[in-house]
A and B are shown apart, each in its own frame.
Chain A
């Protein structure tokens, strides 16, 4: 079975793009299942269900979605195998744009749109820089120059990635994505595999429900800002 992870900032078009690619796969008779990890709520599960494929949705609630995602990878993998899937696609919303960790040996896709700040590629982190495929969406609402500039920025952040421009509304470009999905290597198990990047540590009193502000309420892994004033001030 091919196990593919898809990550990207909220509203970048992950689900729209995947739905088009999955339609192409289904047309070829490929058995596809989808897992969706989100934090608070999502109706993406229903969108996938309308394709008539098995879907599993996990909501992380109070926990960082990525810290929820990794311990559940095996369960999702096993579920997909039970469904005799040929391709399992796991979509996750990156919460802080930093991780949504990709797995070594499993195809990793990152979906970003053309509408962000030009420095966005540098802000996204491993979610973008460790992906095998970077899908850029919403190219229809920007100019040729902006598309080229964005693409170039992506190439600089992730020089090895295949970059695909896909229109989530019309599906233009989704065929190429389908072809790339089919070229993913099959994997037998996720157990023992490694993430491509480590996730930020996150064990402090606020992780466990603390709401009060103040030094005496802060326990655990606490990092204090190293303030640097850039204008008119002295350190």
Chain B
């Protein structure tokens, strides 16, 4: 059903100050997970936008994008799905009606798929959502989780562009895994070390230009393993606290130590791992 995108080639353009971009040519292949890193304003969103618009030297960056071996000159229908920074829905209707509408707009039979999307949503976020909940009444995290599950299952585009996945209190590792399934090209702008190192490659942005391309090294992979352990500990602690447990008990269960902290003289507790 989905057209075959094997490769996206980015031909470098110019930086914000008009100099030639350091990276002159970059190929992104099917199955690649690429992160865009760099401080706010360094050009991450603009690069995502160039990809989405399939720039032809006509955007402010002067970049040119090539699909496959140039046999496609524009994105076909439903080839690109984008997870923006939106944290809530606008349409006001129950979850299942919304998913049914979305599925039918893509000509998909909706029955099994609705349950699948809701199940996936609930594995990503803390509080489960129900089929009859109104989508506008969902929390930021629940909305985000539903958007991700919906992109993964119903939109199912070969190219997924993500502008920050981290800020919603959802299981972002699982989210990324879900979105990058089935040999897609996934490009994520991120400030999160875990997400950055999880990708095989990262594009370092500077002054509006692609400055460096780094592959995740063996050493970084080791660091990533540690980060994942730390992240799991954090999540377990978060869950325990959310459920009304205390840090000490959670600590025993997830192997993280909690120490009393006297910094501001009170009975404040700060946990350390």
Q: Which residues of A contact B (CB under 8 A)?
A: 24, 114-115, 118, 139-146, 148-149, 151-153, 170, 172-173, 175-176
Contacts and interface: CB of A to CB of B under 8 A. Distances in A.
Given A149-B91, A170-B49, A141 B155 contact: no
A149 B101 contact: yes
A149 B105 contact: yes
B155 A173 contact: no
A148 B106 contact: yes
B83 A141 contact: no
Nearest to A176: B53
B81 A144 contact: yes
Interface residues of B, number: 29
Given A152-B105, A175-B59, A114 B155 contact: no
A145 B103 CA distance: 9
10 contacts: A118-B93, A140-B86, A141-B84, A143-B86, A144-B81, A145-B98, A145-B102, A148-B155, A149-B91, A152-B106
Interface in B112-170: 143, 147, 150-151, 154-155
Nearest to A174: B53
A80 to B, nearest CB: 26
Nearest to B150: A145
Nearest to A118: B91
Interface string B62-105: 00000000000000001001111110011101000011011001
B58 interface: yes
B52 interface: yes
Contact of A143 (B58, B93, B147): B147
Contacts of B89: 142-143, 146
Contact of B90 (A141, A152, A172, A175): A141
A145 B58 contact: no
Given A149-B101, A173-B53, A176-B53, A142 B150 contact: no
A144 B105 contact: no
A149 B104 CA distance: 9
B52 A144 contact: no
Contact of B53 (A115, A151, A152, A175): A175
Given A145-B154, A146-B90, A172-B49, 15 more contacts: A24-B58, A118-B101, A139-B84, A140-B86, A143-B86, A143-B89, A145-B98, A148-B78, A148-B105, A148-B106, A148-B155, A149-B105, A152-B105, A170-B49, A175-B53
A125 to B, nearest CB: 21
